Structure 1
Amino acid sequence: MPGPEVLLYGLPLAFLAGFIDAVAGGGGTITLPTLLLMGLNPAQVVATNKLLAIFGSGSATAQYWRKGHVEKALVLRLVPLALLGSALGAYLVHFVSPAAFQTLVGVVILGVGVLVLANKRFGLEDRYPGLTARTLALTLPGALIIGMYDGFLGPGTGTFLMFLFALAGFNLVRSSGNARTINFATNLGAFLFFLTSGQMVWWIGLPMGVANALGAMLGARMAMLRGSAFVKWMYGGIILLVAARLFFLR
């Protein structure tokens, strides 16, 4: 078991992860390797990461929610499907090779990045049409599938959710607010699942969770202040980070 000195680098990295995750998703690409570097075993890493993640995603959700950047009527319909998908993904991990799936997802997320950055107007304007049949046909199965990915593998879940909401017509600031809200729900569900596992390292997860929440608060405020153009380029950088995590960190 590591000593308290690991928090000297764990806290600033958790803060940075919270900031990045609140803007464009992908915070887990920082916190998961950090926890591994501390010497925790894989089960402790996954459980402790969910503990600190509920702080960050909860903090970001509160910021976006208060400022009206969450489409509540849509998101509340999607949360149950995301939770169901997450449970299914956790079940399927026993039957599918994570390594092969990881490579496939890495290719997909790079493709998403090219589409987002090549289309100069993508995500910069809010064109959400409301709860139309097209919106529900896109987002309902999308939330289920991304929820399955979150339960199965995880890195980049918030990034995929942002892309889903941008396809539905939201600008990237509102996409981020919607994505953070759903991600908070899936993190909370996973946290409750791991709560009795005995694998959470509380003395690491709690202080890192507070740092993560502070970073998320700053990140959400920065995203809302600077607008969708700022979020878009942060999003492009996070896609590269997530892809590197999927290709090179097994």
Structure 2
Amino acid sequence: MPGPEVLLYGLPLAFLAGFIDAVAGGGGTITLPTLIFMGLPAAQVVATNKLLAIFGSASSTWQYWRKGHVERSLVLRLIPLALLGSALGAYLVHFVNPDAFRTLVGVVILGVGVLVLVNKRFGLEDRYPGLTPRTLALTLPGALIIGMYDGFLGPGTGTFLMFLFALVGFNLVRSSGNARTINFATNLGAFLFFLIGGQMVWWIGLPMGVANALGATLGARMAMLRGSGFVKVMYGVIVVLVAARLLMQ
């Protein structure tokens, strides 16, 4: 078991992860390797990461929610499907080798990033048409599938959610707010599951969770202040980081 000195680098990295995750998703690409570097066993790494992530996702969700950057009528319809998908994904881990899936997801997420960045207007203007048949046809199955991915593998879930919301017409700030809200719900579901398992290292997860929440608060406020152009740049960076982690692991 590591000593308290690991928090000397764990806290600032958790803060950075919260900031990045609140803007464009992908905070787990920082916190998971950090917990692994601390020397925790794999089960404790996953469980403790969910403990600290619940702080950051709750903080960023609140920031976007109170400023009106969450489409509540749509998101509340998608949360149950995302939770169901997450549970199904966690179940499928026992039957499918996740390593065989990583390369495919890494390539897909790079392709998503290229589509977002090459299309200069994509995600910069808000053209959400409301709860139309097209909106529901894309987002309902999308939430279920991305939820399954979150339970099955995880890295890049927020990035995929942002793309889904931008695809139906939201600008990237509102896409981020919607994605953080659904991510909070799936994190909460996973947190409760791992809480029962008793694998969380509380003395690491709680202080890192507070740092993560502080970073998420700053990141959400920065995204809303700077707008979709800023989020788009951050999105491109996160896509590369998440893809690199999946392809090189």
Measured against the shorter chain, the TM-score band is over 0.9
1:58 and 2:58 are equivalent in the alignment: yes
After superposition, what is the alpha-carbon deviation per residue over 1:110-162, rounded to whole angstroms, capped at 9, x for unaligned?
00011000000000000000000100000000000000000000000000000
- 1:96 Cα deviation from its structure 2 partner: 1.1
Identical aligned residues as a percent: 89
After superposition, where does 1:70-89 map in structure 2 within 5 Å? 70-89=70-89
After superposition, where does 1:211-250 map in structure 2 within 5 Å? 211-249=211-249
> What do you get for the CA RMSD once the two structures are aligned?
0.4
After superposition, what is the alpha-carbon deviation per residue over 1:1-45, rounded to whole angstroms, capped at 9, x for unaligned?
000000000000000000000000000000000000000011000
Distance in 1, matches of 2:120 and 2:44, equals 42
- 1:247 Cα deviation from its structure 2 partner: 1.1
Distance in 1, matches of 2:97 and 2:188, equals 26
Distance in 2, matches of 1:5 and 1:244, equals 29
- Partner residue in 2 for 1:103: 103
Distance in 2, matches of 1:100 and 1:227, equals 37
Distance in 2, matches of 1:77 and 1:196, equals 27
- Partner residue in 2 for 1:175: 175
- 1:97 Cα deviation from its structure 2 partner: 1.3
- Partner residue in 2 for 1:166: 166
- Partner residue in 2 for 1:144: 144
- 1:90 Cα deviation from its structure 2 partner: 0.3
Distance in 2, matches of 1:198 and 1:116, equals 40
Distance in 2, matches of 1:78 and 1:144, equals 8
Distance in 2, matches of 1:97 and 1:232, equals 33
| One-letter code aligned to 2:32 | L
- Partner residue in 2 for 1:22: 22
Compare 78-87 and 97-106 and name the one that shifted more. Answer: 97-106
| One-letter code aligned to 1:222 | M
- Partner residue in 2 for 1:68: 68
Q: How many residues align?
A: 249
Superposition TM-score, scaled by structure 2 size = 1.00
Does the residue aligned with 1:63 lie in a helix, a strand or coil?
Answer: helix
- 1:100 Cα deviation from its structure 2 partner: 1.1
Does the residue aligned with 1:195 lie in a helix, a strand or coil?
Answer: helix
| One-letter code aligned to 1:164 | L
Distance in 2, matches of 1:6 and 1:244, equals 25
Superposition TM-score, scaled by structure 1 size = 0.99
| Runs of 4 or more consecutive aligned structure 1 residues displaced over 4 Å after TM superposition | none
Does the residue aligned with 1:50 lie in a helix, a strand or coil?
Answer: helix
Q: Which segments of 5 or more consecutive residues in structure 1 lack a partner in the other structure?
A: none
- Partner residue in 2 for 1:193: 193
| One-letter code aligned to 1:32 | L
| One-letter code aligned to 2:125 | E
Distance in 1, matches of 2:99 and 2:247, equals 9
| One-letter code aligned to 1:120 | K
- 1:63 Cα deviation from its structure 2 partner: 0.2
Distance in 1, matches of 2:177 and 2:98, equals 29
- Partner residue in 1 for 2:206: 206
Q: Which segments of 5 or more consecutive residues in structure 2 lack a partner in the other structure?
A: none
After superposition, what is the alpha-carbon deviation per residue over 1:42-83, rounded to whole angstroms, capped at 9, x for unaligned?
100000000000000000000000000000000000000000
